[in-house]
Each structure stands twice: as C-alpha cells, then as structure tokens.
Structure 1
C-alpha cells in the first residue's frame, strides 16, 4: 500500500499508466526468474522506466530504477542458486548499468521538459502582460487627446482676449503653456501612431516625392526653433552646393515626419550657437538624407539600440528624449523599403541618416 501511495503522490499521476507499468514489470520479473540465470532479461525494465518518467513522480522513477537493478542482480543467485561464473556477473552488471543510465537520462529529460514548460509559461505571461500594457497605453493616450485639445483651444481663447484683456506680462506665460501642451499632444499622437503601426502596419499613400523639396519645407517650419537655440541650419547637395533632386516613391506626410524628427533631435542636442547640416546625397540606387549635428555624439555600444521603442541610453543625449521619435522614424522608413541608421561624426557630434530606393523614372520638373 505504501508503494501505491508513493506513485499516486505525483501530480502527473495517470491511473492507467501506473497499472501498465506494474503489468510490464511483472512480465519482465517472470521472464527473469522463470529462465536460467544465463539469460538476461533485465534490459526489458528500461521500457517501464521510460513510461514512468513521463507519467509518475521523480521519486517513483528512482524507486523503479533501484528495484530493477536489485532484481537484475539477484537473479544471478535466485531462484535456483546456479553455479556463478564471470560471464554471468559481467552480463548482469552491464544490464544494471544500462538500467541506471536510462533512469538518469529519463530524469534529465524530465528536468529539461519542465524547464522548457516553465520558460514557455513565462513567455506567455510576459506576452500577455505586454499586450495588457500596450492596450492600456493605447487607450490612455487616446483618451488624453480630447482634454489636451480642449486645453489648447482654451489657451488660444485666452491669448485672443475672449475672456477679458490679457496683460503683456501674461502673454509669455500663456505662450509657454501653449508650447508645453502642444509638445505633450505631439508625444501622445506619436505614441498612438507607434501602437497603431505595430498592430496594423503603416498605410502609405505612395507618390513620387522629391526629398530635397520636402527637406526644405521641414527646415522652414523649424527655423524658429533653431533660432531660439541659436542653431544655424545649412543644406548641401552631395559634393556640391547646387540644388538637385532626390526622387523617391513614398508618402510625403510620413517622410516629412521622419525628417522633422531627425532635424528636431539635431537641434535639441546641438550646443547653443552650433550648426546642423543636412546632406542630401543623390544616387542611382538609393537617395540618402543625412542630418549632422554638433552635439555630444552617441556612445558606440548604444548606436544599435537607438531606434528601439522606448530606448533610454546612459548618455545625456539619450535620456533627453522619450525614445519614441526614432522608433517611429524607423517604422516609417522600413515601411518604405529603406534603411535608417546613426553614427558618430568624424569631427564630433552625431549623424542620423536614412536612404530610400531611387525612383527609376523621375518626374519631369
């Protein structure tokens, strides 16, 4: 009865497997002890042991292995007390070693399977947690847009004097609040776009686009930001200063966001009075846009992680951002079949660049 309790204590207990193991053990036992000692049937204990390793507890498998070894060795003397020779002992020892090795390997296989199951369970839990976190963040950011838009419209009304005359000393405060709310709204919209792109992919309205014209338009909109930080922005067109065309097929609005992200980063991370250079390099296979700043540069071990979602590096440069703009830029460029990367400049600072396939037949300008 105690042996039965030993087996049924396992959580993986299967009643049919237990009785199958007992039946097989009994058959091997009969074969062992009903035949002369010269015949070794101990190897057949391996079958019940392997079955037990899948259905019974670890302790039960060890017990079965020990019983099989003992019965195999006792059959040298029992039941007929035959004359023992070296060959008989050697055969029994080899059979016993085979049984022990089977028990050890089955136990190792059990441990490996349990480890795999545990890791799978952890991965499933992590994936479920990640989905819940993303759903929560997506819902939260979506709900934040309405009050932010309302606050921005209210501030506009204050600036226009809709609620009474605004004194000159109050205007800078209102302007600062407006900038803060717009920055927050931009972060919320970027976060929403990131989750939407991950779940649904980016929907592109692809048309022939001149990256030069697009870059010039973005630069114009960011002149005020650059001026506030006393940053000089310059454009060059490959090996010369003559204006050229960089035709690609893409979504103008999405590509505009990428250029704006890279240029804004360069402005924020350049020292006051510095310079940001935009290099537009035409090519027969790829059209390349490089944004070169005069900031602190990027640590070499962090370059490969810059375009990961929410990545925050150890340097001052990385900790200033949210980790979303570069990830969104990567999503957009990869959706266009292009490549985006970062590197340190030869004279200091950092270079953030992307390239897109050249449009085979450029439109006539």
Structure 2
C-alpha cells in the first residue's frame, strides 16, 4: 500500500482530483453567491415597492386607514410570510398587520435615528420563533417622521439555497470520484510507456542488449521517449560491438610485436649468445617497444579526442605556411619514389586558430598515405582553399584508390582495406586524424575511385 501512495500514478491522480474539486467548488461557490445576491436584490425590490405603495396610501388616507391596508396586504401575501408596521421615530408601534406569527419583531433604533427621506434602509434579522432570517426595510412615510417597516421571511429562498448546498456537496463528491477515476486512467495511460522503458532497462541490465521498447505510435511524449531510448540502445549496442572489435584488434596488434620480441629473445638465448647478437636483439626489442608505445599513445589520444577531453594548444598560425612546410618535409620521399609532388596555396596568408601540432600530424598522415599508395610516376597534389566560413586542406592522389565498401570503415580503429594490407601500418592513422579534426569542430571528406586515386579534404571552421 505504501508503494502505491509513493507512486507517480497515485500522486498525479491525487492532483487531478484536488484540482478538479477546487475548480468545481470555486464554480459552485460563485454561482451560490450570485444566487444569494440576486435573491436579496429581488426581495429588496419587493420590499421597497410595498413601502412606496404604503407611503402613497399613508399620504392619501392618513394613519387611521393604515392598519386595514396592512391587514389586507398581509392576508394576500400570507401573514406568516410578511408583516407591515408603522413606527414612530422612537421605535414605538403605531399600526401593524397581523403579528401572531411574528413575536418580538426587533426594531433597530440606530437605523431610525439616521433614516433620511427617500433613503430606504435594509437589514437582515432573526425573529424569535422563526427558523429563517427576515429581510426588513425602513422608509419614512411622510413629513411627520413616522416610519414604515416592511418585513419578508426568507424561508423559500433559504430553503432553495440549502437544497443548492446539498446538491453541490453531492456534485463535488461525484466530481471527485469521476476526476480520480479519470485521472487514474489518464495517469496509467500516460505513464504506461515509462513502465515499458523501465522494464526494458531492467531486462537490458541483465545482459539482453537486443531488447527494445515497443513504440505505440500515439505520437505523444512517451513515444518520443521510447524512440530516443531505442536510439540510445542502438548506439550503446554499436559501441559494445565496436569495443569488442577494438579489443580484439588491440589484442592482435599488441600480440604480434610482443611475440616477435619474445621470439628474438628466445632465439638469441638458445642459438647465438655473442655480444653482437645481444646488441642486435636489444636494438630490435627497442624498435618493437617503440612501436607498441606508439600504438598505445595513438589509442589514448583517439579516446581523449572522442570523449571531448583532448587538450588543444590553440594559437593563431598561417595555414599556408604549415602546408608548405609539410610538403617540403615529404618532398624527398616523393622524389625517391618518382612521384610528382605539387602544392597549391593562396597568395596571401591564411590565419587559422587551432592546435598547430595536432593539425600537422593530421596533414602528415594524409600526405604519407597518399605517397604510400601512389606508384612511381604518380601525382600527389596538396591544396589550401580559404572560404568565408571555413578553410579546406585537400590531399589528392592518383594511386590505387579505395573500394566503395571500404569507404565507410577507413576511419575505424585498426581497420585496413584489403588493398592496403601489403603496406606497413597499424590502421590507426586515419582514426587519429579524424579524432583531431573533430576536436577542432571540423570533419574530413573522402572521395575515391579504384585505380584512379583518392582525395581527402580537411574542413575546419574559422
């Protein structure tokens, strides 16, 4: 039971019922006050009409005929419903209708003292023996300062208002029950999707990552939550698959140099124990260790960049100068392989803000790949384009190209296309390049055609 009280469904239902009850009560109260005011206004108009009529009769026939007029009028309206009296200024009774049903009808002396001509005064009093209130009007009858007093029993009006209150209570209770039922239904319907998400999350927690939330296609916020939750699960599952693949690739790429190190050490110990052999083994061990350290450092840098925590040493530098320096660095390699190496840059400086060191590594990787997969007699072109929103650095070659099915994977860690497996490398260069460019809020575009070459374009926003 306590669990139900603490549930969101119960609290929403309670809020529905409370808001509905308060709204209904406010509406019924406003109607009640309007009815009561309208009834008072109607009675006051009736009392004032009688007072004006008796004032006219008083001026025509004098005080002697007033009692008969009072009796006749009271008989018509009901002697237990109305009474009429003529009072002096000091409150003494001069004439009156039948007062058997009215015992000790009160007179408010303060009203008599302050009563002005043609200015009626109204009050509501309780008459002993009467279960209902009486509405009374005081009105000056003539210049002799005598006062007409007319009273009307509010029995029918108060009974009507009492019946209205009873009906209002029943309506409020029925409304609360209806609001609670409707609120419970709506809350259960609204939160049903949340329960599906919760259940799916619980099942996924047991290891079933293929589980998805069923989308009801109602188009509400819960459907949007379910779709977003499923998209998140798809992303998590793809990350898990990628993590498994990366773990397998790391194990493979780390195992190979470690195996070679162990093999060299074992061979040297068992076959050749001379100093030159040990020196050669030590040199090879250092070389393989450096390769391992480079792989590990690249993986760490990729992870930092992908996580958005890479530290960028931002500064203003000349992009054209950086590109020209990189081209000059690789020109000897191009000449050794008989590759035409060209560079096209704007005549003016292109100032860019970023981590120059990391962008140099990105460019060096792309140029190295272009030279590596371009045969003798080929061509590699490096160009810079300065546009209003961004700067583009392109590296184009006419080498072996990349097959279409490999284009979507070339930036994956340790991925190597079939046509590139014969060349040295660990498959981390493009992954690292893409991570560094993304850290600068940029991206890399690729176009390639088999045996016609590839074009890698770095796009960096200003």
TM-score (norm 1): 0.48
Larger-gyration structure (1/2): 2
